[in-house]
Amino acid sequence: MSEERIRNAMTVDVEDWFQVQNFAGVIPRTAWDGLERRVEANTDRILQDFADAGVLATFFTLGWVAERHAALVRRIVAGGHELASHGYGHELVHAIGMAGFREDIRRARLVLEDTGGVPVRGYRAPTFSVSAARTPWAHRILAEEGYHYSSSTFPVRHDRYGEPGAPRHPHRRDAEGVPEIPLSTLPAFGRNLPCAGGGWFRLLPYGVTHAGLNRVNRVEGRPGVFYFHPWEIDPAQPRAEGAGRLARFRHYTGLGSMRRRLARLLTDFAWGRMDEVFADAIAPAQGCAAAA
């Protein structure tokens, strides 16, 4: 293409296969340390794919992972990518409440900054568990704890997450809180269709994501946000015993073709880090300077 393309934000939620909400009922948190960890090898493959494509991205990383894979965190930073927080222990924000949330994001930021040696300013809630109705305090607490932005809202309807009535583009919900940069959607048929990655990218035809991002870029003139997880490029990962049929379908479908589809996506669109793509929308919120 001869015309300059709008850059979209490429993001990776760095967590391991056993930490997903799909398996929360069959893999207790106390068992995590005894399970096979595959997150480092999978994330290294992603780093190589990004380097080959000339793509910089944002890695929303669990503090739990950073404590156990410090060298991986340093390789993310050395590659020129943005290091951001996915919280510490992948707990749902509305489940742990205000005090638990503050403790979780503070612990995660300290671990990530100590390990990576760079400021951590971005945050993404596990399973998009931030919403106006259930966690109206989240964005203000993020600002108080030194964060500069959140990318924790998915404006879609889903049985486990989503806020279909939320704004589709960057906005500030609280004058004293950080701005929210939601995951990308395509408005159609009276609802928002997902075009931001994750399981939707594996389960739906590639053309859905392509059409959605293309509309966001070309028609709306805005950058989009895409995300995925390291375990999504790993078809050889262990199978969770006892998981229900729906959970297995959501987690394992499309793993074998995911990396090939990602390679196509990296070529079809222009990509960058969250803090660079959305620099105009991100400004230090009140309280950041004191908390940093």
Domain positions in the chain are 7-291
Q: Tell me, what's the pLDDT at 284? A: 59
CATH 3.20.20.370 for the 7-291 domain, yes or no: yes
> Which pLDDT score is estimated for 290?
38
End-to-end C-alpha distance for the chain, whole angstroms:
42
What is the model's pLDDT at position 35?
98
The residues, any chain, with a CB within 8 Å of residue 181's CB and separated by 6 or more, are: 9, 149, 150, 151, 170, 225, 274, 278, 281, 282
pLDDT of residue 108: 98
What is the full DSSP assignment across 155-213? -S--SSS--TTS-SS-B-SSTTS--B-PPPEEEETTEEEE-SBTHHHHHS-HHHHHHHH
272 neighbors 5 (Cβ within 8 angstroms): no
With contact defined as beta carbons under 8 Å apart, do 227 and 11 qualify?
A: yes
**Which positions of the chain have pLDDT values less than 70?**
1-3, 158-162, 283-292
The pLDDT score that the predictor gives to residue 159 is: 56
**Rounded CA separation 72/18 (Å):** 18
**261, containing H or E segment:** helix 255-268
Nearest by Cα to 5 from 159, 213, 206? 213
**Three-state secondary-structure class, residue 114:** helix
pLDDT for 185 equals 92
Q: What is the pLDDT of residue 255?
A: 97
pLDDT at position 288 is 43
Q: What is the pTM of this model?
A: 0.94
